[in-house]
Amino acid sequence: MQCPKCKIDHAHRSHRSGLVERLGSLIGYYPYRCRECGHRFLQFRYASPPEGPGKHLEAEREIKSTRLRIRWQRKKRIVLLYGFSALLFLGFLYYITRPGTFSGN
């Protein structure tokens, strides 16, 4: 995607922020951000790119792999947190159910 401000071909899809971008996405206009100048702009999603479909495959692949890596790291963190919590809970249950733990003798 070409940036309308600097005319360099380094713009990518960006997250929606603000009411205008959220309302624009309802009718097919999505936010993009230029990697060079940082300019944000709205572009119709189904507009055909003037340079052809094969030019941005590398950048799209990189963005997709980064998102997948972040999702995997988040899942790992959650699984480790729940696993550690379950082990801690089982250890606590073992401690309070041992015979003679709370006896007065």
Q: Tell me how many domains the chain contains.
A: 2
Say if residues 85 and 37 touch (Cβ distance below 8 Å).
no
Phi-psi region of 70 (alpha: psi -120 to 50; beta: other; left: phi over 0): alpha
pLDDT at 78: 95
Query: How far is 21 from 24, CA to CA, in rounded Å?
Result: 5
Residues 62 and 42 in one domain: no
What is the phi/psi pair of residue 69, to 5°? -65, -45
- Structural domain contains residue 105: no
- Walking along the chain (105 residues) 10 residues at a time, the average pLDDT comes out as 83 84 84 89 73 65 90 95 97 89 55
Domain that holds residue 60: 56-99
Residues 35 and 19 in one domain: yes
Residues 95 and 71 in one domain: yes
Query: How far is 22 from 32, CA to CA, in rounded Å?
Result: 13
Report, in angstroms and rounded to the nearest whole number, the Rg of the chain calculated over CA atoms: 25
